[in-house]
Every structure is written in C-alpha cells, then in structure tokens.
Structure 1
C-alpha cells in the first residue's frame, strides 16, 4: 500500500464548536462576522450581536424542550438562520440534522425517524406540509418551526426568562468527542446513511484548512477576508466552510441558489475575497463568458486569451513544483495585455476581489483550472467525503497541480490499496454510521477509511481520482471502464450539460446526454436559426451532428472498446428536484438508469 502523509499544524481542539462564537465576541466584539442581506443590501452583523442572537435562540430551544443530545432537523436552503440554529443547538449540546430542501416526503420520514428528531426547522409552508405528511410515523417529533413565519422571534421570546448560565452550563459540557451533527451521505450508489460527525471532526478539519491555506484566505490586499456561502448547508462542504469562517474570523454571507442568474449578481455586490465552490460554477461562468464574446464578435480574441492564460498558468505551475523557470518574458507581456482586455472583466463578474478559490464536490478539468488561474483566480481543487468532514486532500497553497485533488491536508494521510482504492485518515474522519454497525465496520479499519474511490498518488503525494469502485462499467466482453473521465470529456462541449455513460453487461458503451438550454439558444442564434423548443431540438440533424463531434472527440482519448458507440439526447437536465442529482450535483447513477431504462434499452435494441 502506497502512503503519503502531511504533518499536523495544530495541536487539536478542546471544547465544542459553539465556543468560537462566544470567544470571538469576548475578544473582538466589534468584528463584523457576517453580512445579512436585506432589501438588496448587505447589513453587517458583529461578533457580539451574533453571539447574543445565538444565546437568545438557545434559551428558546431549552424552553421548547430541546435537551443535551437531542436531534433537531433543519430543512432549508442556505441562509442566515442556518448559522443561528447550528450554533444555538451546539450551545446546548444538541445535534443538528440537515435535510436537503428538495427531499421527498419518504426521504424526510426516513431521516427524521432514524435520527429520532424531536423537532424540525423548515423554511416555508411547502416544507411544513412535507414534514406534516409523515408526522404520524414520527412519534418523537414534537415541533415544526417555520422560518418564514418568524419562528426565530417566537423561540427567542419564549426563552427570555431563562438565565444565560443554563446555556453556558450545557455548552461547557460539550467535548470534541460529542456528536455535533448527523449528515446523510449523498446516496450515489445506495440508500443514504447518517454520518456521525463530532465537534472534534469539524474543528479538526476546519483548523487544518485554516492552517494550511491561511495565507490564501488572508492575502486580500488589506481588505478583511470575506466569502459568500452559496453551497447547500445541508451538505458537509457548505457546513465546513461556515465552521471554518467562524473559527478564522472570516466574514460570511449567505445565498440560497446555485443558478448563475441570481448567484452572479450576489457575488458582484458581496465582493468576496475568496470562494468555495463546485466545478459546475466555473463551467457555467466560462461558458457564459465565451458566449458573450461570440455574440460581440470577439470570439477569436477570447480564444487567444484562453490559450495565453492556460499556457501562462501551466508555466507557473511547473515553476511552483520546481520543474521549470516559469512564464517567459514574451508570455508575460501577452498575459498582461489580455489581463486588461479579458481577465479583469471575468474577475469583475465575481466582484473583482476574488483571487483564490477552493473547489470540490466533483472533478474540475485541468484545462479549466489552468484558465481560471491564468485569469487571476487560482483554483485549489480538493477531495473529500461526508465521512471525512469535507476536504481530506487539497492542492497546497502556491503549489497547485491542476487536474489533481492535491495532497493530504495537515494531519491527514492518504494511501492507495492494491486494488487502487483510496484510503484516508485524519482529524475529520468520522466515527461511524448511525444505526449501521456493519457498514461502519466495512468502512473503517484501524483509523483508516476505505473511500470506495479509485485513484493514484504521484511521486510528490498529489492524488488523482479516476472513478468509484461501484461505478466501474464492465461490458459483456469483459472490458473495464471508469465512466467519469469519459463523461467529463463529453461535457467539455458547450452544448452538453450532463453525460451519463452506460454499458454494464452490455456489448458496447453508450451515453445519455442532456443539453444546456441557454447554450442551445446561443448556438442557434449565432447560426441565424430560429429558436427551437426542446422536442424539435432533439430531432434536429445539425444539432445531432454537433453532439456527435463532441462524442467523437471524447472517444479519441480511449480505446475502441471503451468508446461511446451510441448516445441519446434527453429532453431535460438531470436535477435535484427529480432526485437524479445529489446535493453536491453528482449524478445518481442508479436513479438515472432506472428513470431512463426505456431509453437505455433503445440504445441497444432500437
């Protein structure tokens, strides 16, 4: 087994996660810890005010019967109140249970029943109705609190007579080994399982992030560090970003939608100094920038700028890794010219201050990572699971190797098993699954977690993920294929939104492909063609030929036995709402295969 470790840079945490909120308020009460959006403006929230709001809500929870060790579910998009409830619950030793806001009634019933949640915080009436529909099967549930009905104010009012000391007594009883949250896995290959993550898991992972990348977060040209959280807080990545920000004194804001139509205006006004994101965001930003350039008649200029940015970033990458001298003088001159013409505008879309981005959740193509680095925004791609409290590896500050997910974070180790499986250990690795001792035993061995992912380590300890063990496709002829790399190459085409490769126990490999509606409209417009509805587009010969070229380009990187021999265009994208994507926007392969079983059959028998 090949292994690579990174030394710890912190001594380990004491106490619970809520302590940082109280300690910061005592130490620096005027520090602007959050910005809360109201009527289009970002209003400052100091550390003292946030502490007082958390304390008041914690007292209200006590009056409603929430006790140390109780579990309370939160079903909401990313918003300010998420932070309030997390830290109020942790202040009294209670456990938060995130529920994704688009979860179906049966999913909600399963999570609330298994965790024996005593209450559920919901965002609006639709969520309340979803929970209410399964209440009869939830004997432990005693309350449903609705955010848009101002449940926070009601709880605060209820707790006014509770002494502060009662909350502090509960808080001081929390240790690093106390469970902080139960987060359910994304369920890409089976039924989601609840991961028991402790205060020490979250604190250890957050402190490793702050220790290893503190210079990245603080290098803001004199501007206090700030980041807008738009990742789902029902997912471990978003929660970890929030915890790290509170522990590191970094100002945060919240935005509840991943769609670029609302996200980009929010980023422009909030003006983050760094971001945490998923590859989907960068793919969309790049695609929209390219489309805008094409409509303005500046596509050739844009493509030249892309080439220069990619070349410049690759040269800097090699210098950072000790393998080259860096960009040549001529390349630096060209890069400076395109910075004025193109790159500065791209940075302006994100508010103008972003220089670094931590990226995870799925793979980011090497070329896209190089382009954004060349445009002045270095993307530090990382890798992690719910079971590892988010990132267990990340590209080192100042030494990214694009196309990899980096090296172990401080205090963590990565090893590759004989079968290529990635094993990890570190402060963020969880203690087990709720009510699933056999699954826990199968996943954990002597402090190591078997991730289920396939990967490799290079000589410098950089990890590359090539697929998941359970996602390997074996054709009827016995050919093994990890589908993710091939899917990524098909998705590189601007018209393609998603691609799912199929072929297990089949004579050849095929694919289901969805189209990006906005990219399709742009494609038709620049060709002077009338807009088509999606059903007309699916039978359009010119469009099929364009997608066939994308498939053919992807096929050039694999053998004939691994190549896509047939594909089908689908009428709509896979989405969270229809249960075909995980909260981190990964494909739910089994769910998609079941949903489109007839289409897959026609790929082989049509």
Structure 2
C-alpha cells in the first residue's frame, strides 16, 4: 500500500519535543503520575525543557555521539524523557526489560557495548554489581528512584543549549536510534538496529491512518495510557507516536488489575494499546461478577447481542450486509447501561478504541467489544518492522484478521506460507559487534518474518502460526499450534496453553489454570471439598476443560485435533522462564521443565 505520509528526509526523533514546543508550547502532551495517584499535566514547552536539561547532563558526563545508553525500567514517565534526551544528545538507547535475568542483562549490555545504564530501582542496579567487572565498556550506572535523572539535569546546567543543538543537527533519518533485542524464544536475543527513519516511516503512516478517525468520531481530546512495556517495540512506537501527534500520553507501570484499573479510572484514556490477554481478562472478570451477582443469564444474553451487533456492523461496513437491524439496535440499547457501560467504565469510561497486537484476539471477542462500544483494531508487527506492519483499516473491519498492510508497507506470502514484509520501517539490520556493527537483515528488500499467514482477495492478512513452531506429527501431518492455543486461552478457567505433538503419534496440550477463574468457579459450584492443591484433578473441572477442547477440535481435522491434555501444577510465568516479557511461550524451556507430564501424555 502506498504511504500516506511524506517520507522524512531530514532531522530525527530528537527534534520532536522542540518542534512541539515551538508549534504549540501550551499543548498538554504528557501527564505524569503523582504520588497520590493523580496526574500532573506536562505541556510541550515543559517537556522540551526537561528533555534539553537531561540531554545536557548526559553530555556533561562525557557521553559521545553514537554511544549506547541502556534503560532498565517499567513503563514510567522517566523512560520517555530519557529516550528523547538520549537522542537529543546523539546517543543510541538500548531498552532492557526490568524483569530480565542478570544473565540476560549482562548479555544485552555486553552485546550492545553500552557505556551507561539507567535503572529504575536500586535493587536492579545492585543485582548487576557482580557483573560489572565483565562489562568493561560500562562506565556509568544511574538510578531513577535515587533522583539521578534530576541530578543529570542539574549536572548539565552549565552547558549552553547550543551543545545539544549541534548534536541534534548532525542526526538524520539514517542515524541509528535504538537497539532493541528480541525476546529470544529460540536462542540468544538479537539486537535489532532501528533508525530514526524507521520510526518516522512506521509512526507517521499509522498516525495519518488512525488519528483523523479518532479525532472526528469523539468530542474528547485524544489520550493514551500506555501500560505495555517500554522495553518492547510496540510500547516505544506508541510513545513516539503520541509525542509526534501531540496526543496526551500517560504511563502505567503495572499490568496487575489491582494497579492498572485505578490508573485507567483516574487517567480516563480515549484509546487503549493492549494485548489479547488484557481484553480476555476484562471480559472474564465481568462475566464472573455477573455470575456472582446472580445475573449470568442476562450477561450471556448481552454477550450474544453484542457479538451479533459487532458482526452486523462489520457486514454493513464491508458491504456484505445491511448493518444491525432495528430489533438488534433496540436490544443493544437495552443492555448498554446494564453490561456494556460497566465494561467501558472498567477501562476508564471514555475508551472508544483499542489497538490490539501481540497475538490474534479472535473473531468472537473482537465482535463482542465492537458491540459493547469499543472498536478493536487488530495489528501485526515485529521488532524488525518497528512495531506495526498491518492493522485493521478504519471503518472497514474484517474480524479475525490483522487487517491490511499499513500505508507504506508491502506484504507478500512466500511459497511455504511465510509472511514477507518490505517498507521504510523495516530495520537497517541486526547488531553484530564482531562484524563491525550492523549486518543487513533484508538485502533484497523483503524481511522474512518467521510467521505463517494468508492474504485474502481484499488484502486482509490472517496469522496462522510460527514457522519454527509448526508441529509435524509422526504421521506427517502439519499443525500450527497458535490458533488452537489462542482459542483455548480465552476460556475463563484457562491461563495458558501449549499444544505439542512434534514427531509424536498425535497432538496433545499442556494447560495451566487461571487462578481467579478457578477460584470463582469453585465458589459458584460449591467445590470447596476439593483442596486447592488437588483442584487440577477435580473430575468436574477436567470435564469442563474437555468440553472446551472438543469445541476447539471442531475447527480441525481428526489428525490435527487435541487427543489428550494435562493440567500442570503451576502457571507459566516470566519469572520461571516459561514466558517472554511479551507473554510468548518459551517452548523449549516448557518442554524441558515438564518432560514427565509430556511423556505421561504419550505413555501407553
């Protein structure tokens, strides 16, 4: 698809805060969370002044243009300040997940050659202490909670603004902006070298496609509460896009419902950038509350109405139907104050749009949210594509797909089903210090994604799985595990699913339980006689899971169907090494840690 935005040929991301300050100095571009849980607005002029002060501090500490500076923090306001300040000082930022192991942190710091590290907490810095002798390039370690960001601003106060302007002036679209290391589901993380131009190409086209729609269809000023990890490319892309478009941006450091829901309620965003896990959790929590209050039949009827309404809207927009009928509109209006408004209120009350990525959400849940008044835009992308490569086109949804290529993006499917991506937002290459820097990743202009997919006649992309995760059974049947896993994961009693069967006689599944869902189920079904530690053996629970698997199997042929499953004694977690920070399964680790359970499925 041709680009909507004119390519940027001069300047860099470092210019954005200062351009905003010159154009609209009093515009509120960010809101900073205060100690009492409120939000303090930050104008364009204030943000530019803070970025300038911290940039001068980094220069005063001896950091030189092209130096790499690592940031290890949750999604906090300081992350965005440091990102733009580092760029203004001519530096390259290297994000590090705050949940990463010491070994992973050491690897990223060593691989990138980072000369400085900024951690959020003292504990993160202390944990790295024993590794410092093995990191000869690392000369500075600063800690946000110790006030070191403010100290940096003070340290550079004696420098003239001209020092920063000179460094900004030599940056261009081809200049390296960041090294983002992949999550390493199949091996050591690789550093993706993304330029300032990569970000501009992705962000500007996304803003041109979506922002006019958001702006014209709501009277509220656009605002985004970012709770996705800033260490992930999606979170960084969102932050840059908000600054670029002057959309008010807030930061929420925790995905835990007890922390996030109050932040949503106080910030009241108009748009969410999210992952399927959160939307599934909101839906399952709402359903559980309805059941506890004796209103489950009404909730289930409301769910059916919302799904049918969302599908009818889609049909009307795509020309395959006439849109919602009068009776369906009446039913939706009836259930709005009873069910749908409560779900919107759980997200702050003003949310009308959600952009969802990471894995497919599923047609049914996307239709439900659309019917409940929250339009879902599903997207697909990788670190290598600077975030998004496809997204649901505004006003032309195709539920169950990840949309069209974004403007300026080319998509094609290789003979073996692999998705290939081209465009100005595709990375310069992979970082390899042994090869002297950046090694091209797509020399022919097409990046192999490792994902499998299909394009329909109108150009909508559907993701069918990962090439490396494709299961080949002993009978030679190829099975993509992702669709089954995504479908089953939406069940309220299921947390995670991993489909197995490579070189085995049949397909099986490892299942972990959702703690909140099981607790609610036990309470509602008087299963208290079963000890919590034995709940995975409860015949009634196992029967419910079997029915869910039977439903999933209806989508498949017999050789692709799940024949057996095992409920594991513990959930997959990032801390245990079973999930990446972006909630993807580390399959090899899971197979190793639960080898006995796997063998039990195939015994006899």
Q: Normalising TM by the smaller chain, what interval?
A: over 0.9
CA displacement 1:542-595 (0-9 Å, x = unmatched): 222221222222222212211112211112221122222122211121222222
Q: Which residue of 1 aligns with 2:215?
A: 218
Question: Which position in structure 2 is the counterpart of 1:28?
Answer: 24
**Residue aligning to 1:153:** 150
Query: Does 1:196 pair with 2:193?
Result: yes
Aligned to 1:162: 159
Asked if structure 2 preserves the Cα contact closer than 8 Å seen for 1:476 and 1:504, the reply is yes
Q: Does 1:278 align with 2:275?
A: yes
Corresponding pairs, count: 601
Q: Secondary structure at the match of 1:134?
A: helix
CA distance in 2, matches of 1:17, 1:439: 21
Matched, 1:144 2:146: no
- Indicate how the Cα distance of structure 1 residues 529 and 327 shifts in structure 2: closer, same or farther if over 3 A, else same: same
- 1:237-252 map, 5 Å: 237-252=234-249
Q: SS where residue 434 of structure 1 aligns?
A: strand
Aligned to 2:511: 513
User: Equivalent residue for 1:593?
Assistant: 591
- Bigger CA drift: 558-567 or 57-66? 558-567
Equivalent in 551, 557, 560 of residue 559 of structure 1: 557
SS at 2:340 equivalent: helix
Distance 2:124 2:112 in 1: 18
The offset of 1:330, in angstroms, is: 1.4
In 1, are the aligned partners of 2:430 and 2:440 still within 8 Å (CA)?
no
Assess, with a 3 A threshold, how the Cα gap between structure 1 residues 107 and 534 changes in structure 2: closer, same or farther. farther
What corresponds to 2:2 in structure 1? 7
After TM superposition, the structure 1 = structure 2 runs for residues 174-323 of structure 1, keeping only pairs within 5 Å, are 174-219=171-216, 221-323=218-320
User: CA–CA distance in 2 between the matches of 1:37 and 1:83?
Assistant: 13
What is the CA distance between 1:494 and its match in structure 2? 1.1
In structure 2, the partner of 1:3 is: none
Task: Mark the CA change 1:443 to 1:52 in structure 2 (over 3 Å): closer, same or farther.
Answer: closer
**Which aligned pairs between 1:386-425 and structure 2 lie closer than 5 A?**
386-425=383-422
More deviation, 118-127/530-539: 530-539
Question: For residue 527 of structure 1, what is the aligned residue in structure 2?
Answer: 525
- Output the CA distance in 2 between the equivalents of 1:121 and 1:532: 48
1:375 aligns to 2:376 (yes or no): no
Q: How far apart are residue 360 of structure 1 and its match?
A: 0.4
TM-score, normalization: structure 1? 0.97
CA pair 296-448 structure 1, distance change in 2 beyond 3 A: same
1:603 to partner: Cα distance: 1.8
Deviation at 1:182, TM superposition (A): 0.2
Q: Distance in 1 between matches of 2:38 and 2:500?
A: 47
In structure 2, list runs of 5 or more residues that go unmatched. Answer: none
Residues 1:570 and 2:568 aligned together: yes
| 2-structure distance, mates of 1:422, 1:127 | 38
Partners in 1 of 2:215 and 2:147 — Cα distance?
36
State the Cα distance separating 1:535 from its structure 2 match: 2.1
Distance in 2 between residues matched to 1:443 and 1:65, nearest whole Å? 32
Residue 533 of structure 1: CA displacement? 5.4
Tell me if structure 1 keeps the 8 A contact 2:472–2:478.
Answer: yes
Moved more, 486-495 or 112-121: 486-495
- Aligned 8 A contact 1:105 1:133 in 2: no
Deviation, 1:411, is 0.9
1:442 to 1:601, Cα distance in 2 relative to 1, 3 A:
farther
**8 A contact 1:104–1:130 mirrored in 2:** no
Structure 1 residues 309-334: Cα deviation after superposition (integer angstroms, max 9, x where no partner): 11111111011112111111111111
Give 4+ residue runs of structure 1 displaced > 4 Å after superposition. Answer: 436-443, 531-534
SS in 2 for 1:444: coil
**Does structure 1 conserve the Cα–Cα contact (< 8 Å) formed by 2:530 and 2:538?**
no
Partner of residue 95, structure 2: 98
Q: Distance in 1 between matches of 2:423 and 2:318?
A: 25
**Aligned partner (choices 437, 461, 465) of residue 459 of structure 2:** 461
- Aligned to 2:128, what secondary structure does the other structure show? helix
Q: Structure 1 unaligned runs (5+)?
A: 1-5
For residues 394 and 533 of structure 1, the distance between their equivalents in structure 2, rounded to whole angstroms, comes to 46
Conserved 8 A contact 2:464-2:482: yes
Q: Which among 389, 406, 426 is matched to residue 429 of structure 1? A: 426
2:542 is aligned with 1:539: no
Could you say if the C-alpha distance between residues 296 and 219 of structure 1 is closer, same or farther in structure 2, counting changes exceeding 3 Å? farther
SS in 2 for 1:18: helix
Which stretch has the larger CA shift, 78-87 or 213-222? 213-222
- State how far apart, in whole Å, the 1-side matches of 2:25 and 2:438 are: 42
C-alpha contact (below 8 Å) 1:579/1:591 kept by paired residues: yes
Shift of 1:439: 13
Taking the aligned partners of 1:99 and 1:454, their CA distance within structure 2 comes to: 28
Q: Contact between 1:216 and 1:356, CA under 8 Å: does it hold in 2?
A: no
Secondary structure of 1:221's match?
coil
The 5 Å alignment of 1:495-506 reads 495-506=493-504
Which of 596-605 and 516-525 deviates more? Answer: 596-605
Q: Retained in 2: the 8 A contact 1:220–1:273?
A: no
Distance 1:108 1:201, change over 3 A: same
SS in 2 for 1:323: coil
TM-score (norm 2): 0.97
Kept in 2: contact 1:312–1:331 (CA 8 A): yes
From 91, 109, 114, the counterpart of 1:112: 109
1:295-374 aligned within 5 A = 295-374=292-371
Name which of 72, 75, 91 aligns with 1:75. 72
Is 1:485 the counterpart of 2:483? The answer is yes
SS of the counterpart of 1:461?
coil
CA contact (8 A) 2:428 2:441 kept: no
Tell me the C-alpha RMSD between the 2 structures.
1.6
Deviations 1:213-272 (A, max 9, x none): 112332463321101000000000000000000000100100011122211121111000
Q: After superposition, what is the alpha-carbon deviation per residue over 1:328-375, rounded to whole angstroms, capped at 9, x for unaligned? A: 111111111111221111111111111111110111011000000000
User: Deviations 1:469-507 (Å, cap 9, x if unpaired)?
Assistant: 100001111111000111122223210011001111111
Answer yes or no: is the 8 Å Cα contact 2:431–2:437 preserved in 1: no
Deviations 1:485-537 (A, max 9, x none): 11122223210011001111111111110000000010011112328654221
